[in-house]
């Protein structure tokens, strides 16, 4: 299979073609996820911790097993059959991802360890190279630590200053404040697409327009959005987009950084080693073209193939249908949980997806999590790697239920019943 290396538009994948979205057959879909069929502490597993990591369909598990059983070889090296096959499969997965994000070319798709790795790559290769003392990097007050700390590190290295646009009581970005913070000193913007702690969907297209009007490149943290929203990097016009495989029904240890080709070309390598070079002498080396320039060493081949299988699975259902069902789940869960006296939802933005964060009066989220676990209901309790968000809302932690398209309305009933038990025991 060949792939255009110049900026030719790719044909739209089936899931992108607009059409009437048939409702999901959730029971059928659940059959594809073996882990959902077990009992936890004698109760049926109700997995509502999808923002932490999603479960894997059998096709993903099979792709990884098949690779290690009959396909395993290193890529871009051997002249033997297995290596050629593995190389072709690896490159094909990259093309799938380019189509999934609607990138102009697969040269813009860099495999990483995950979202965190992708953001660190941009911080160290782009920001560290091009920023200097007094320059500013703008983020928001609802970032995950992975979209804060890499910028703090690069600020220490370059003398640049990190600014954060505030959020409102509803957990929405204060767009006017964001606009005011875009100044002549701003050299880079990094924003989360879908907040893992609040569920807020940021108007990233608008934010990118505002930044681009000043010639400022923008990175979008897509860790939570890639599994739940249809992402089109050309339509967003973002310069970088990072996501993780494991939140998108794929394996851990693999992620993707999309980068605009013209920027990736200007950036120096992030890591040096095998596979990323053109020539090496003991005096100096030259770099391989994109995307290899940013992929030093033997990559996570099995995980990349697993991610490819995950994208095939997601595309076979269609993100529009996935998003429509998840919206129903979130709406239903929000109504039911808000109906419990003493529960306050943290994050009440108008535009939300997949995440329901809340606190129960007089009860610590850890106790909520432990008692729900006894009911077989898995949620997250804690600061969600977003301590500034917790500080903004004056809570040490929240309880968070986060949904995926394999969740059912009955599972939300289990969540609510569990919360009533928590209340009875502790409140």
Partner 1 sequence: MATLNALYQELILDHNRAPRNYRSMDNANRRVEGHNPLCGDRLTVWLRMEGDLIEDVAFQGSGCAISRASASLMTTAVKGKARPDVEALVDRFHRLVTGSLDPAETELLGKLAVFSGISQFPVRVKCASLSWHALKAALERPDAVVSTE
Beta bridge partners of 343: 360
Q: How far is CA 317 from CA 34, 37, 245, 298, 322, in A?
A: 18, 21, 17, 32, 7
We find the least distance from the C-beta atom of residue 224 to partner 1, in angstroms, to be: 21
Among 234, 268, 271, 261, CA closest to 107: 261
Q: What are φ and ψ of residue 210, in 5° steps?
A: -60, -45
Q: What residues numbered 32-51 form the site for partner 1, per CB under 8 A?
A: 41
DSSP state, 23? P
Query: In the β-sheet with 343-345, what is the strand arrangement from edge to edge?
Result: 343-345, 355-360, 398-402, 380-382
DSSP H stretches of helix in 277-402: 301-317, 319-338, 365-374, 387-393
| Window of 270-278, 286-294, 374-382, 407-415 that interacts with partner 1 by CB under 8 A | 374-382
We find the least distance from the C-beta atom of residue 325 to partner 1, in angstroms, to be: 32
Q: Helices H, strands E: what count in the chain?
A: 16, 17
305, 90 contact by CB (below 8 A) = yes
Cβ distance to partner 1 smaller for residue 297 or 342: 342
Question: In angstroms, rounded to a whole number, what is the distance separating the alpha carbons of residues 277 and 272?
Answer: 8
* Residue 212 binds partner 1 (CB under 8 A): no
Q: Is the dihedral of CA 328, 329, 330, 336 positive or negative?
A: positive
* Residue 420 binds partner 1 (CB under 8 A): no
Among 369, 45, 384, 5, CA closest to 196: 384
Among 357, 111, 324, 105, CA closest to 229: 324
* Residue 160 binds partner 1 (CB under 8 A): no
We find the least distance from the C-beta atom of residue 380 to partner 1, in angstroms, to be: 11
Cβ distance to partner 1 smaller for residue 19 or 362: 362
Cβ distance to partner 1 smaller for residue 212 or 364: 364
* Residue 374 binds partner 1 (CB under 8 A): yes
Catalytic, out of 36, 73, 340, 385 = 385
Q: What are φ and ψ of residue 26, in 5° steps?
A: -65, -40
Cβ distance to partner 1 smaller for residue 128 or 383: 383
We find the least distance from the C-beta atom of residue 369 to partner 1, in angstroms, to be: 9
We find the least distance from the C-beta atom of residue 16 to partner 1, in angstroms, to be: 41
Choose, by CB under 8 A, the member of 16, 364, 378, 413 that binds partner 1. 364
Beta bridge partners of 137: 162, 188
Beta bridge partners of 194: 201
# residues near partner 1 by CB under 8 A: 18
Choose, by CB under 8 A, the member of 80, 206, 214, 366 that binds partner 1. 366
CB-neighbour burial class of residue 168 (10 A; exposed 0-12, middle 13-18, buried 19+): middle
We find the least distance from the C-beta atom of residue 398 to partner 1, in angstroms, to be: 10
* Residue 417 binds partner 1 (CB under 8 A): no
* Residue 198 binds partner 1 (CB under 8 A): no
Strand segments (E) across 193-288: 218-221, 240-244, 255-259, 277-280, 285-287
Is 385 known to be catalytic?
Answer: yes
Q: What are φ and ψ of residue 10, in 5° steps?
A: -85, 150
Choose, by CB under 8 A, the member of 129, 331, 370, 417 that binds partner 1. 370
| Window of 203-211, 339-347, 352-360, 370-378 that interacts with partner 1 by CB under 8 A | 370-378
Residues 6+ apart with CB under 8 A from 375: 41, 43, 46, 414, 417, 418, 421
Q: What are φ and ψ of residue 223, in 5° steps?
A: -55, -45
Choose, by CB under 8 A, the member of 257, 363, 399, 404 that binds partner 1. 363
Cβ distance to partner 1 smaller for residue 41 or 350: 41
Draw the binding track, 378-407, toward partner 1 (x: CB under 8 A; -: no contact): ---xxx---x--x-----xx----------
Among 157, 152, 158, 193, CA closest to 173: 193
We find the least distance from the C-beta atom of residue 297 to partner 1, in angstroms, to be: 31
| Window of 31-39, 251-259, 314-322, 376-384 that interacts with partner 1 by CB under 8 A | 376-384
Cβ distance to partner 1 smaller for residue 317 or 397: 397
We find the least distance from the C-beta atom of residue 347 to partner 1, in angstroms, to be: 17
| Window of 78-86, 117-125, 321-329, 369-377 that interacts with partner 1 by CB under 8 A | 369-377
List, by residue number, the catalytic residues.
385
Which residues lie near partner 1 (CB under 8 A)?
Answer: 41, 363-367, 370-371, 374, 381-383, 387, 390, 396-397, 425-426
């Amino acid at each position: 299979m060949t792939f255009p290396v110049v900026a030719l538009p790719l044909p739209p994948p089936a899931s992108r073609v607009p059409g009437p979205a048939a409702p999901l057959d959730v029971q059928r879909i659940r059959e594809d996820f073996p882990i959902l069929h077990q009992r936890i502490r004698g109760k049926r597993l109700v997995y509502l911790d999808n923002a932490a990591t999603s479960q894997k369909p059998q096709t993903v598990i099979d792709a990884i097993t098949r690779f290690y059983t009959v396909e395993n070889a290193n890529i871009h090296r051997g002249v033997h059959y297995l290596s050629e096959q593995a190389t072709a499969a690896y490159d094909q997965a990259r093309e799938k991802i380019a189509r999934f994000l609607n990138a102009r070319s697969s040269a813009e798709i860099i495999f990483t360890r995950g979202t965190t790795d992708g953001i660190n790559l941009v911080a160290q290769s782009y920001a560290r190279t091009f920023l200097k003392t007094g320059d500013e990097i703008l983020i928001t007050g609802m970032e995950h630590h992975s979209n804060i700390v890499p910028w703090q590190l690069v600020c220490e290295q370059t003398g640049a200053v990190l600014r954060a646009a505030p959020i409102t009581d509803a957990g929405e970005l204060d767009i006017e404040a964001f606009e005011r913070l875009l100044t002549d000193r701003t050299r880079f913007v990094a924003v989360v697409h879908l907040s893992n702690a609040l569920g807020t969907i940021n108007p990233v297209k608008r934010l990118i327009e505002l930044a681009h009007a000043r010639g400022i490149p923008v990175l979008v943290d897509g860790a939570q959005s890639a599994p739940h929203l249809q992402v089109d990097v050309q339509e967003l016009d973002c310069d970088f987009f990072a996501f993780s495989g494991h939140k998108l029904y794929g394996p851990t240890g693999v992620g993707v950084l999309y980068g605009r080709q013209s920027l990736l070309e200007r950036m120096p390598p992030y890591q040096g080693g095998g596979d990323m070079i053109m020539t090496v002498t003991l005096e100096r080396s030259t770099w391989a073209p994109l995307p290899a320039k940013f992929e030093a060493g033997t990559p996570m081949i099995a995980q990349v193939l697993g991610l490819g299988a995950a994208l095939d699975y997601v595309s076979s259902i269609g993100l529009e249908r996935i998003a429509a069902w998840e919206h129903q789940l979130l709406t239903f869960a929000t109504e039911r949980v808000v109906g419990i006296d003493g529960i306050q939802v943290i994050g009440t933005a108008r535009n939300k997806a997949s995440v329901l964060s809340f606190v129960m009066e007089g009860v610590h989220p850890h106790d909520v999590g432990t008692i729900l676990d006894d009911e077989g209901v898995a949620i997250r309790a804690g600061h969600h790697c977003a301590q500034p968000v917790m500080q903004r809302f004056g809570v040490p932690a929240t309880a968070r239920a986060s949904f995926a398209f394999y969740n059912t309305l009955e599972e939300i009933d289990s969540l609510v019943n569990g919360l009533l038990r928590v209340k009875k025991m502790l409140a």
